[in-house]
């Protein structure tokens, strides 16, 4: 029943405390937003942690963590194709901005760059680290300490393990050791996608974000440029496993990725059709909601453009001895959209680690 204003008894009413309600980032649909995300490793039981430790030690004892399947015993100093033994070799530890603003956000990732690699990319943008294996050795316990030190800087958004495919057991043991030390931010696994199922099984439950490259789609070009003709098959299966583990990329209300899969493709001059095929594969066999970064910053480096040492002479890898053109990049982006992909990385204002 309506009462006139004169009959309303007005009493002093304390003001409720001001509550700041976070605004949803306008370009992120609600299906891909998370309120309070807890890193996956924080949900492991004691029994699961014990099994992970045992699995990591067994992987080191008979190394099967990349498709090379060297089966060496790294616990006694043996090394395989990657030339890295029991300890992980690290080149740089620092807060860092990469090419994906949704991963690095305002303050960057707490990044650990691992030396060595299971591939031998002729055009490697980080060849001083990956090919020459410059750096220093760290045990899993020392790595764990660095993870926590990076976190305790107070402003990094995640721990980003860069090129860890050949040191998966060490990274796993480091994450497990860091849990009781107070580690509490998401883990990013930044990979070429040349991973074995055994490696990804070990990472399941430890990794929150898979930042996965998909370089080439043809065994012929992969053998020539990556020295691994099984790369396309391996990358396809690896990315599907990653998707099953963490799903599509999801964000907090600040627009920072918390969990899920992001796939990167560096557009290569001459190999545009392979880029198009990769986009179609992601849409048809992974998810049309896959978050994709079509990268355009390729430049000739490493072995590209050097003179052949043989009698024939000439320029090595001459077909990629130039940057990718705008039309080449645009063709791959158009193929992605035509395939049904729609979630793309925005350009980063920072110069990323290539």
Question: Closest Cα to residue 112, out of 162, 154, 63?
Answer: 162
User: Which tokens hold the place of 260?
Assistant: 């899920």
SS3 54: helix
The response to whether 117 counts as a known ligand-binding position is yes
Identify the CA nearest to 173 among candidates 38, 40, 50, 42: 50
Cα gap 193→177, rounded to integer Å: 25
Cα torsion 212, 101, 122, 276: sign: positive
124 is in an annotated binding site: yes
- 56/52 Cα distance (integer angstroms): 6
121 in a labelled binding site: yes
Tokens of 345: 């990385």
Query: Of 328, 336, 335, which Cα lies nearest the Cα of 272?
Result: 328
Please give the full DSSP string across 146-185, using - where no structure is assigned: HHHHHHTTS----EEEES-GGGHHHHHHHHHHHTTTT--S
Residues 6+ apart with CB under 8 A from 98: 104, 109, 111, 160, 348, 350, 352, 353
32-44: b (≥16 Cβ within 10 Å) or e: bbeeebebbbeeb
Strand partners, 113: 92, 162
- What is the C-alpha separation between 174 and 164, in angstroms, rounded? 12
Annotated binding-site ranges for [4Fe-4S] cluster: 117, 121, 124
Annotated binding-site ranges: 117, 121, 124
């Amino acid at each position: 029943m309506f009462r006139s204003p004169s009959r309303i008894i007005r009493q002093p009413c304390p003001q409720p405390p001001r509550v700041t309600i976070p605004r949803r980032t306008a370009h992120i649909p609600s299906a891909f937003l998370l309120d309070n995300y807890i890193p996956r490793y924080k949900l492991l039981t004691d029994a699961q942690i014990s099994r992970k430790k045992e699995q990591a030690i067994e992987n080191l004892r008979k190394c099967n963590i990349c498709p090379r399947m060297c089966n060496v015993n790294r616990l006694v100093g043996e090394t395989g194709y990657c030339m890295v033994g029991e300890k992980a070799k690290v080149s740089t530890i620092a807060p860092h901005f990469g090419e994906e603003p949704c991963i690095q956000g305002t303050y960057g990732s707490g990044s650990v760059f691992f030396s060595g690699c299971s591939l031998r990319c002729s055009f490697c943008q980080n060849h001083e680290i990956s090919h020459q294996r410059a750096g220093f050795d760290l045990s899993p316990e020392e790595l764990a300490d660095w993870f926590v030190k990076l976190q305790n800087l107070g402003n990094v958004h995640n721990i980003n393990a860069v090129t860890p495919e050949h040191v998966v057991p060490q990274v796993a043991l480091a994450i497990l050791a860091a849990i009781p030390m107070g580690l509490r931010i998401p883990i990013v696994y930044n990979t070429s996608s040349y991973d074995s199922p055994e490696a990804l099984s070990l990472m399941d439950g430890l990794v929150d974000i898979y930042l996965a490259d998909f370089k080439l789609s043809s065994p012929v070009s992969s053998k020539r440029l990556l020295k691994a003709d099984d790369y396309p098959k391996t990358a396809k299966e690896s990315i599907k496993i990653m998707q099953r583990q963490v799903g599509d990329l999801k964000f907090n209300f600040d627009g920072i990725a918390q969990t899920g899969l992001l796939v990167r493709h560096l557009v290569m001059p001459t190999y545009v059709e392979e880029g198009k095929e990769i986009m179609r594969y992601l849409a048809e066999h992974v998810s049309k909601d896959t978050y994709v970064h079509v990268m355009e910053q390729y430049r000739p480096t490493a072995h590209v453009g050097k003179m052949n040492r043989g009698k024939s002479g000439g320029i090595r890898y001459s077909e990629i001895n130039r940057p990718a053109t705008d039309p080449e990049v645009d063709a791959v982006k158009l193929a992605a959209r035509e395939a049904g992909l729609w979630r793309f990385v925005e350009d980063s204002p920072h110069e990323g680690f290539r």
